[in-house]
Structure 1
Amino acid sequence: MATTGGVLLSDELLRLRELVSEADGIELKVTVPEVAHRSTTATLGLDPIDAQIRHVYFFDTPDLALNKVGVVVRARRIQGGGNDSVVKLRPVVPSELPRDIRKSPNFSVEVDIVPGSFVCSASLKNKLPATAVRASASGERPLRKLFSKEQRAFFAEHAPDGLTIDDLSILGPIFVLKLKVVPETFDRRLVAEMWFYPDGSRILELSTKCLPTEGIAVAGDLRRLLGDKGVDITGAQQTKTSTALEFFSAELQAKPA
């Protein structure tokens, strides 16, 4: 993706505008450098006691065959709520997606924007009972039971030939704290997620969602909020999913055959 010093070039801005016009929503994201986690938590008034606990599982082959073709398969256990699963495809061009899948109430197209880059993704979600993910992760139930017929068809269409959901390895879980706040001077919800990786590393991501027509205004408001709070957004941006997949892929491949 063409960028210069973290700034999108004009042709990329035009492409972004096209994608946004066809998407269902926008998610603006920024990851905070690890050295600034404590100060950011304090300045934004984030209290971990108020956070929701989540366990996030990814499913792929040890060599990440799905990730290589842009498919992400995930399931979550959520404190105080049900479980859910998703089959995600990225990048996508919204206008090239089949009309029937676009009509599904479980399907959404979103443009994720981070400083200097963006990606458009399509997600097909499924709500699950509170015990579903744990049962499949422990081997009591097949992994395919976490996914609806609609999701399994979407997976089969985009996964490498011959690969089924039950062939996938479990990558995870990742322990996550998620907190929603509405800071002063910011008229919408800000979401903070802290992802804790088994090697002791952490990712703190701040995000907010908006409609496609609100993108420019909300991006400006978010930048001003973080600037006023002294939150550094100029560092290298990490993605939670890629970091998790790379960590567990290396772990799986290091195990004796």
Structure 2
Amino acid sequence: MTAVGPAPIATGEKLVELLALVREADSVELKATVPLVDQRSTLLALGIDPLEAQIRLVVFFDTPDLALNRQGVVARARRVQGKGDDSVIKLRPVIPGDMPAKLRRQSGFRVEVDALPGGFVCSATLKEALKPPAVKSALSGDLPIRKLFSKEQREFFAAHAPDGVRLDDLTPLGPIFVLKVRCVPPELGRRLVAEVWLFPDGSRVLELSTRCGTDEAFQVAAETRACLTARGVDLGGEQQTKTRKALEYFAGQQG
């Protein structure tokens, strides 16, 4: 399996593929990144108060040459203000029907379609809650990286990671400082999430997202786009995924 970006929705064939994925997925997350020059005006247009933001520290684990990323595997851990720690093993792209039934029955497992302007990708995520200071201890070297992940997560990782790559062999990439805030535009009537990822070089990524059920994905997509367009939010810029930028940035700092 090779890691790829979101598949463009440019043909009838791709639309058929998207419909098939949505039917079998557990949920759909609609996402869009906002160009740097429009980020401040977007936050103002949505009435977002930065003082209401939740602070997060996100760290990825990969080899220095991003072997996991090329294989479509993501290993991540977070510290979340007022909420505790968690860890994730993610695989993408996936076909929902290929996921074992035993895995899909686990409470922390989700198959989700991420839909961006002009593209989509289906991912499988296995999440585990952690008791602080687990992530902090792992980053300081006091806790092996594998201890951040449950037995089920380690099995999921081993089934899809490149041969010979173990969790304890991985390099921490980050952490990156993240601000997350929610808002509910009255005309939309559903929650929008804004995440600002702040990189050490001063660059940043602003992502807007909303999660919905598979049976309402296209309706919600149309309503959300209409809401954002009416508020002057530009969704026509180049889309940049947070994970890819973070991995490439921090891997580049390793040399």
User: How does the TM-score come out when normalised to structure 1?
Assistant: 0.96
- Does residue 23 in structure 1 map to residue 18 in structure 2? no
Q: Paired residue for 1:144, among 143, 146, 158? A: 146
How many Å separate the matches in 2 of 1:111 and 1:167? 30
State the match for 1:84 in structure 2.
Answer: 86
Structure 2 residue corresponding to 1:247, chosen from 222, 226, 249: 249
- 1:191 touches 1:207 (CA, 8 Å); kept in 2? yes
1:173 equivalent in alignment to 2:175 = yes
The one-character-per-residue Cα deviations of 1:40-78 (angstroms, maximum 9, x if unpaired) are 111100111000000000000000010010000000000
Name whichever of 8-17 and 58-67 sits farther off: 8-17
Contact 2:178 2:195 in 1 (8 A): yes
- Partner of residue 114 from structure 1, selected from 113, 116, 129: 116
1:82-104 C-alpha deviation (Å, 9 max, x unpaired): 10000000000011111111111
Pick from 42, 61, 64: which aligns with 1:62?
64
Query: Which of 198, 202, 205 in structure 1 is aligned with 2:204?
Result: 202
- The answer to whether 1:218 aligns with 2:184 is no
Let me know the Cα RMSD of the aligned residues: 0.9
Give distance in 1, aligned partners of 2:43 and 2:207: 11
* Partner Cα distance (1:96, 1:131) in 2: 35
Match of 1:163 in 2: 165
Contact 2:7 2:120 in 1 (8 A): no
Structure 1, unaligned stretches of length 5 or more?
none
Specify the SS of the correspondent of 2:178: strand
Aligned partner of residue 8 in structure 1, secondary structure: coil
Distance 1:30 1:53 in 2: 21
Q: CA deviation at 1:130?
A: 2.2
Post-superposition shift, 1:2? 6.2
Q: Structure 1 residue runs of 4+, over 3 Å off?
A: none
Identify the match of residue 98 of structure 1 among 84, 97, 100: 100
Contact 1:2–1:9 under 8 Å retained in 2: no
Q: What is the total number of aligned residue pairs between the two structures? A: 250
* Partner of residue 75, structure 1: 77
Q: TM-score, normalised by structure 2?
A: 0.96
The answer to whether the 8 A contact 2:54-2:81 is kept is yes
| Percent identity between the two aligned chains | 58
